[in-house]
């Protein structure tokens, strides 16, 4: 693999792949670097119903694969590696990865986000032993068992609705007294007899030796403690941007997001950002794709200077 490109894209989700589609069609030698599964976080979605062009919906995994196939048709190259940093070398941007260094005139950062963790006792120790962050991945392991979902947004309710296909009961634990999920998801969840809601409650600990056995709960209003017997717990409390490798390179806000202008330009010329890593992103596949296309258009203009 040649290590010199005109555009390097970090991240192979909807933003990165859309950027790669546009830069490749512009006949710019382009490389997308992805550390996990091509398609990004959307590959965890069993059914995507709000991406234009698929009136019956499409699985997140298939959507990611289709965009990747379309981009590679125009010459986009793919490297399965993790980006570990970026350096500036004159007019070149040097991207360090776990598989070596790669240079380009322009870099588009589309490294997406990952699930936030609760940071409570037992969470790390029991991850993979009943603690999960992906119902699509692990739901079938809990057939006819009782599980909990922590969170009240779209991700949490989507997880809960998927889990009812396998489990006997799903307990949704939310620290507020109402959900933040969209109305259509709320309607589906409230109409599902297998889903039960524990309001104004947070999880303080996860217990079990070799497997999850119970959760230690606390009511955020009364302070009353309780224990909940479950076979597993699915944590869906939001996302954090994958930008740790950019510290000291780009200015990040307190939560780790990158500020851009309407052209997806960052404070450093030749470095663009798109999708979930961008400050005030809508965190939707369709808006990420739009960000990626915009970043690619202006990256092309930058490389032609």
Catalytic residue among 55, 89, 138, 210: 138
pLDDT of residue 107: 98
Residue 252 pLDDT grade (very low, low, confident, very high; cuts 50, 70, 90): very high
**DSSP per residue over the chain, as a string?**
--SEEEEEEE--SHHHHHHHHHHHHTT--EEEEESS-TTGGGGG-S-B-SSTT-TT-B-HHHHHHHHHHHHHHTT-EEEE--EEEEEEETTEEEEEETTEEEEEEEEEE---EEE-----TTTTTTBTTTEES-HHHHGGGGTT-EEEEE--SHHHHHHHHHHTTT-SEEEEE-SSSS--S-HHHHHHHHT-TTEEEETTEEEEEEE-SSS--EEEEEETTT--EEEEE-SEEEE---EEES-GGGTTTS-B-TTSPBP--TT-B-SSTTEEE-GGGBTT----HHHHHHHHHHHHHHHHHHHT-
Residue 47 pLDDT grade (very low, low, confident, very high; cuts 50, 70, 90): confident
What mean pLDDT do residues 50-63 have? Answer: 92
pLDDT of residue 159: 95
CATH fold label, 4-114+239-303? FAD/NAD(P)-binding domain (3.50.50)
pLDDT at 21 over 80: yes
pLDDT of residue 269: 96
Domain locations along the chain: 4-114+239-303, 117-235
Do the two domains 4-114+239-303 and 117-235 of this chain adopt the same fold?
yes
Question: At the top level of CATH, which class does the domain 117-235 belong to?
Answer: alpha beta
- Per DSSP bridges, beta strands 195-198 and 201-207 are unpaired
138 is a catalytic site residue: yes
* Residue 274 or 41, more confident: 274
Q: Could you give phi then psi for residue 110, rounded to 5 degrees?
A: -140, 45
144 is a catalytic site residue: no
pLDDT of residue 1: 56
Angstrom distance (rounded) from CA 88 to CA 23 = 21
Residue 46 pLDDT grade (very low, low, confident, very high; cuts 50, 70, 90): confident
Place of tokens 């062009």: 53
Q: What is the pLDDT of residues 75-132, one digit of tens each?
A: 999 999 999 999 999 999 999 999 999 999 999 999 999 889 999 999 999 999 999 9
Please measure the distance between the N-terminal and C-terminal CA atoms of the chain and give it in whole angstroms: 26
Bridge partners (DSSP) of residue 149 are 172, 234
For the chain, the average pLDDT equals 95
Please give the model's pTM, rounded to 2 decimal places.
0.81
Angstrom distance (rounded) from CA 236 to CA 246 = 25
Catalytic residue among 134, 144, 210, 291: 134
Residue 239 pLDDT grade (very low, low, confident, very high; cuts 50, 70, 90): confident
pLDDT of residue 134: 87
What mean pLDDT do residues 246-251 have? Answer: 93
276 is a catalytic site residue: no
Contact 233, 147 (CB under 8 A): yes
């Amino acid at each position: 693999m040649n290590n010199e490109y005109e555009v390097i894209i970090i991240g192979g989700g909807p933003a990165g792949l859309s950027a790669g589609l546009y830069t490749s069609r512009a006949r710019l030698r382009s490389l997308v670097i992805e550390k996990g599964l091509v398609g990004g976080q959307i590959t965890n979605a069993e059914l995507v119903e709000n991406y234009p062009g698929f009136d019956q919906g499409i699985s997140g995994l298939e959507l990611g694969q289709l965009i990747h196939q379309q981009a590679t048709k125009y010459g986009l190259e793919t490297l399965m590696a993790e980006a570990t940093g970026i350096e500036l070398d004159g007019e070149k941007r040097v991207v360090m990865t776990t598989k070596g260094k790669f240079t380009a005139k322009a870099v588009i950062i589309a490294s997406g986000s990952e699930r936030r963790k609760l940071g409570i006792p037992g969470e790390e120790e029991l991850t993979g032993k009943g603690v999960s962050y992906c119902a699509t991945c692990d739901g079938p392991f809990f057939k006819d068992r009782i599980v909990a979902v922590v969170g009240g947004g779209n991700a949490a309710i989507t997880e809960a609705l998927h889990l009812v296909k396998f489990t006997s009961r799903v307990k949704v634990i939310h620290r507020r007294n109402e959900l933040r999920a969209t109305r259509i998801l709320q309607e589906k969840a409230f109409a599902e007899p297998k889903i039960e809601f524990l309001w104004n409650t947070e999880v303080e600990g996860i217990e079990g030796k070799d497997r999850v056995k119970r959760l230690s709960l606390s009511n955020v209003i009364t302070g009353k403690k309780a224990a909940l017997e479950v076979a597993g717990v699915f944590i869906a409390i939001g996302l954090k941007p994958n930008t740790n490798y950019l510290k000291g390179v780009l200015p990040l806000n307190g939560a780790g997001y990158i500020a851009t202008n309407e052209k997806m330009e960052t404070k450093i010329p030749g470095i663009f950002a798109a999708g979930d890593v961008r400050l005030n992103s809508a965190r939707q596949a369709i808006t990420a794709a739009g960000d990626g296309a915009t970043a690619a258009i202006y990256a092309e203009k930058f490389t032609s200077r």
